[in-house]
Structure 1
Amino acid sequence: MEKKTNEFLIRLMLILLSMFIPIAAADLILKQLNLPKQNGRIMLLGGGSLKTDEENLIRKYTPNRTIRHAAVYGKNVIYDYTFKTNKYGFRNTYSCNLETKNPIVAITGDSFTEGQGSKISWTKDLQFKLCNIGTDSINLAMPGYGIIDMSNSLVFAKKRLNAEKAIFSIITSDIYRRNAIMHSNAKCSAYYVTDLKLCGISATWWHIPKEMNSKEIITFAKSKYKFGLRSSLSGLEKYAKNILKDVIRKITYNNPSNFLKKTGIITAIPEKKEIIIKNSIQALNKIATIYKPENIILVIIPNKSDRIKSVKINHQMASKESDLQNFLQLLDPSISKVDLRSCPLTSDHFYLKDGHPNKKGQQLIGQCVANNISVKKFLNIDK
């Protein structure tokens, strides 16, 4: 009896080992290769926080602070810089310091316009020219903003600053972004998920001491990476869930009497892109009624995909272009629209592992915008 028991235990151990060794090996290989790739970036924020002002539904940094931004990919710090925030909590991209009360131009956009990854924003050139003609300006742009968030920021600028004109600066993907609440705690600033699971679940800016050196930053980032088999399986799980949600979404929206929609389960399903685009159009057109259409200009600036073509994404680009043109056609026709995606940025103007423009890229975008005839006419800039 004892002999049989021992044999059983040995076989069981061999079975468990035969299962464990491949799993452990796969986990080790994935970690060594820094996979899955989508978990290979860590964003860091020092000197303050970034969260949604829920009264105005806009994002703000801690006001009147020097903020440090850094991004780590693998073992490399891709960018690391500081900037100052104004009393409203926006990045101060140019100081005009006019002595008298002057007209204000409000500029809004996403991380490209805020200047993420660069010590300057492309808006600096334009703001300098505005200042020279006695017009003040403010940059309201924030990372992750879509059209709805941008519209909320312009409502704020009209109410609080009595802004007279507004510049919407977008990249193509902004029309797909829903507005999302960002919360902050001692550890991080992140898009809201739950009270208990804020950091690391969605896009996260981990909080660090502002004086951390590069070596300490890399060590800190290493502790936040989620490489390995578990993360890869989690990615597959999310992929499967998204497919299921898409199927449910199609069923419920195509059949309003469907049981899922009646029971309210549909509220847990993400919005279709068509609905997000429709809401974005409504939000921008609403701003046109607040500012008047002739006081709004929409500027489309280039992203990395616009300037560095890839065969793999050509079909995606065609679909996005179609969506963008539909979006533009449904805007108030009196709103000025300028497409600057032909601005001659190259791979030298973007970070290799990050989609944002570097300092050279920001400067070139700034030149393209500030020298555009339609933009100069809209802002009454002669030179």
Structure 2
Amino acid sequence: MKTLFEVKQDLMNVGNQLKKANDTLLQTASTPGISQEQIKESQNAKDTLQLQFEILQKQHDEMDKEQKQKLSSQSGTKAQDPNQQLINAKAELIKKTMKKEAVNQETMNVISQSNKGNILQALLDNTATGGNNFIPKNTGTSVISEPVQKNPLRDLSAFTNIANLELPKVSFTLADDDFIADGATAKELAATGSVVAFGRNKFKVFTDISETVLNGTNTDLVSTVEKNLRAGVAAKEKKVAFATTPKTGEEHMSFYSSAVGITEIEGDTMYESILNALADLEDEYDEVASVVMRKQDYFKMIKELANGADTLFGRKPEDVIGYPVEFCSLAVDPVVGDFSFSHFNYDPDALYEQDKNIKTGMNSFVVTAWFDHQIKLSSAFRIATVAP
């Protein structure tokens, strides 16, 4: 007997044939001078496929219903909606890790499938469905925590989750074009090669969980862990990308590192240096360039430009500079350029561990992961500095 999957495949194949047969019938019927026999042939072919499709559809619906009833009876509950199933799977992963117990493969499959294989990012998704337990009466319904850190590069840079990733620095070539024939890009490719390989740099993210939260609703537990992990990951990404004194082995990750060699462009004022830096970019990068800078530097620049007037303070940063602006507290000197050439890659593997402080009763959920940040082309960026 055929499986539900096989019936689905047959239904899809017959459906495609039915569509073609219907198109053929319409084409035949609209062709001048066509014989009655040819029209009947097309009609019969279409009717036969229609009958096959209806039989397969009925069989599919019956098998699908039977399978759902079987799964529901095995679990003793109604089938969960996908969001709730994902929350419960994440909660089980966290709780099993805290108890130093093995996580079953079915749970990992639910998390992996919902995130296309990305186990680390499984803990970084937003969900909003309620849990299936009750919070103890002596606690609130929401968790008090510090503001979550954000990484502005998340809206600009490329992010992937592929092991041993290698990428071309320039994703296209034009035989009769001068894009990479001269200029800074050509010199960089000649010096460093046209392919960038991503490495594995280990880092850990910790999040403390109280026993009341750990024993509370799945939703509150998962949201607390996700929020803190998201903040930790964002802080790490920003720290390595804008490190003025990178750690040994992490020099290639920082926009400010001499190992990367991004050109610095000066100006008498912050505004002038940013415009000079943007003007120095090659046209292909300038068209999609953005500016990442500190908010305090931006307001200081606006104060100088406004010269006592209030007209500039209510305008959007991109209206003042002419390019999209993202704020980052670690960007001590504005970085401008095409940030698609800034690329973060996470290794698909991640380790989950736990630790507990007996005195405070706080449990630490620990994720060990590996990632790399590659600035694929330093010529796609400029650093704006103010002359002494």
Larger CA Rg, structure 1 vs 2: 2
Does TM-score exceed 0.5, indicating one fold?
no
Where on the TM-score scale, by shorter chain, does this alignment land: which range?
A: under 0.3
With the length of structure 1 as denominator, give the TM-score of the two structures.
0.19
